[in-house]
Amino acid sequence: MPPSVEWTGDAVRVIDQRRLPGALVLRDLRTVEDVVEAIATLAVRGANVIGTTGALGVVLGLRAGRPLDEVATLVARTRPTAVNLQVAVDAVAAAARAGRDPLAAALGLLEADREQCRRIGEAGRVELAGRPRLLTHCNTGRLATTGIGTALGIVHAKAQAGEEVHVLATETRPLRQGARLTAWELHRSGVDVRVLPDGAAAAALLGGLVDAVVVGADRIASNGDTANKVGTLALALAARHAGVPFYVAATLNAVDLGLVDGASIPIETRAAAEVLDGPGDVDVPVWNPAFDVTPGDLVTGIVTEAGVLRPPFAVSLPSAVRAPGRQRGSDDPGDVRDPRPGRGRAPPRPGAGRRAEPRVPHRAGARAHVRVAGAGGRPGRGARHAGPGRRGVPGGPGR
């Protein structure tokens, strides 16, 4: 498979993920507006590759003589949930302000992402030894990163090591990233994969068909609350009830230490037409969030390039993010855990932790944190949402 994103010398070449699996189409993005459009329309999707593509988009804008602040703002606001984009834009902008080469900074992010994914894959492979049956959600592999992936990086690492691995991939409604992208990627790589409807995942978990759940992340608060593709929260709740470990796999640049918990994570809302997509569907209001927030209490561990982070995440996440030289790391993935004696290794017991709060809009017409065309409504308790739209009214960009 060609790289998900690469620099050609005068353009950003990406795989148009909207065309998969029917056709593998490469697009050359030659302006910052091309980059913004590709991200907003899901030609480019996946938190890590959004970040690296956005970084190169800033370079294109600067080469066209656009002001740095204008270009950085234009790119960063395209996806408010995935913090990787803001991190990447900030890195390139900082290089430009310091008189360094912004292109070198952007290309450095691509190389760093490849290495971080490799380390995540190896750490997850070790962590999930003896657990061959993995359930995953959305797409978190080579299409979503510049490396082997985060959650799917663990799958690829197992396969490359000759270990047994079988994947249950949720369809991931409404845009079917699991059925379209994850199934295509794994089948192409020779990995055993089976697609199941989103609504069948709980039955698979309670029926003993899954050894572990592994998902990606678009933003992780300092307490471990994790924003990911909508449907992740339901998987975490079902996994807890079934006693199946639930892991998040993400690079540390997905961690937002500025957020105490997930209540302040902005949640993008997509168009109603993505849900009411069948002939004759009734034109009624739709709430179509692109993401939900899983409480950190439901997460067994967070697999990162620094190793597997253990609860309490309010201790292990800041420790990993602030570790000196964390971009370099060592060749041996390990645990980052609570330093207090006797804490940090064991996964949470089934049923432990606080109850997840439903994240739903309470009423229409109130101000939303994320503004999208045609959206109203205000968030319920928890993450901030744009409100429900109507069929055919475009929403904000989703994953």
Q: Helix 47-63 and helix 102-127: axis angle, to 10°?
A: 170
Q: pLDDT-based confidence at 277, cuts 50/70/90?
A: confident
Q: Where are the alpha helices (DSSP H) in 130-182?
A: 151-160, 177
CA neighbours closer than 13 Å in the CB half-sphere of residue 55:
32
Instruction: Give Cβ neighbours of residue 227 (< 8 Å, ≥ 6 apart).
Output: 81, 217, 218, 219, 220, 262, 265, 267, 291, 292, 293, 383
For residues 192 and 158, the answer to whether their CB atoms sit within 8 Å is no
pTM for this prediction? 0.84
- Per-residue pLDDT at 383: 53
pLDDT above 70: residue 91: yes
Instruction: Please name the residue that has the structure tokens 């060609």.
Output: 2
Q: What 8-state DSSP symbol labels residue 314? A: H
Structure tokens belonging to residue 391 = 């069929």
- Per-residue pLDDT at 327: 53
pLDDT above 70: residue 101: yes
Please give the angle made by the CA atoms of 143, 107 and 306, to the nearest 5 degrees.
70
Q: pLDDT-based confidence at 222, cuts 50/70/90?
A: very high
Measured CA to CA in angstroms, residue 19 lies from 24, 29, 43 at distances of 7, 16, 8
pLDDT above 90: residue 213: yes
Q: Catalytic residue positions? A: 218
Structure tokens belonging to residue 351 = 């049923």
